[in-house]
Amino acid sequence: AQSVTQLGSHVSVSEGALVLLRCNYSSSVPPYLFWYVQYPNQGLQLLLKYTSAATLVKGINGFEAEFKKSETSFHLTKPSAHMSDAAEYFCAVSFGNEKLTFGTGTRLTIIP
């Protein structure tokens, strides 16, 4: 079965610093990979997705992620953190017509 692992349930970065949230997947077939952001008491908002086109994917709010098959990774980055980036981030994977399977999430805290 497909799965994703998010390393680090909590990540803190200073405002203006690089944001790096890690996601590794396990799969025997090419996956579709997603990053979602969830603000407190709100729904899941799609940041970006990889669907077997370009390996470097640019998303909303300045985020991007690179699909690295050799490392089975899909880490999320942002060059300069803003206070408004504080939220919970979920990596998710799907295969073909199957459901999305989520990682356990990473809570991002921005230090002023």
Partner 1 sequence: AAGVIQSPRHLIKEKRETATLKCYPIPRHDTVYWYQQGPGQDPQFLISFYEKMQSDKGSIPDRFSAQQFSDYHSELNMSSLELGDSALYFCASRSRDRTGYTFGSGTRLTVV
d(CA 97, CA 66) in angstroms, rounded, equals 23
Helix (H) or strand (E) holding 74: strand 73-78
Q: Which of 90, 93, 108, 110 binds partner 1 (CB under 8 A)?
A: 90
Q: Does 40 bind partner 1 (CB under 8 A)?
A: no
Binding region for partner 1 (CB under 8 A) out of 20-28, 40-48, 59-67, 75-83: 40-48
Q: How far is the CB of 107 from partner 1 (least distance, A)?
A: 9
> Applying CB under 8 A, does 74 fall inside the site for partner 1?
no
Stretch that binds partner 1, among 21-29, 35-43, 65-73, 79-87 (CB under 8 A): 35-43
Q: Which of 83, 37, 41 is nearest to 59 (CA)?
A: 37
C-alpha torsion 103→91→67→72, nearest 10? 0
